Structure 1
Amino acid sequence: IDECENDFYNGGCVHECINIPGNYRCTCYDGFMLAHDGHNCLDVDECLDNNGGCQQICVNTMGSYECQCKEGFFLSDNQHTCIHRSNGKCSVLETCSVE
């Protein structure tokens, strides 16, 4: 029996159902973890681990996160480092690329 076969039931899994011999298991999409009930998926707060790799502000979103910068700074191309705006010139905090 494939417990995952019924699209409506999906093995009772919120995200994905994987059929295994004699049983099934639920898995979650990236950015989520399986709840203790084995069926529901909970959002992972990436900001709790090293501020999500963000230099200044980490904002947790459902299934993901985004880095933001404080006033007077802008987010660099790597989406993690913040660059200071100084009289229209680029001031180095860690790295700065001139465009």
Structure 2
Amino acid sequence: MDLKKIDAPLSTTTYNRNKVDAPTENIYEAISIISKRAEQINSEIKKELIEKLEEFATYNDSLEEIFENKEQIEVSKFYEKLPKPHALAVKEWLDGKVYHRNTEEKQD
């Protein structure tokens, strides 16, 4: 996931309900799919953040010394400014980038 090219809104946005539930024709199913995708995005971002912070980690045995690592602070600030996972998931959903299928439908 390329986080620099994401154009999802940073703040709360009102969406047209008909556009949100158009692919499934059921608003609850659409919201369920979007929430599952938001959880996936959140775990991807968290994993990526932890990996980047580990690169700059300094380990010491002394609890009295606290080091400010400027690289870690910059990485953290970048991730704090990103759109929230639910905003990313809704954007992907409305753009038709989320694959979904109904497992209850009979397959011939």
Q: Give your verdict on TM over 0.5.
A: no
> Larger % of strand: which?
1
Larger Cα-atom Rg:
1
Which structure has more relative contact order (CA 8 Å, sep 6+)? It is 2
When normalised by structure 2's length, the TM-score is 0.22
Q: Which has the higher helix share?
A: 2
TM-score, with structure 1 as normaliser: 0.23
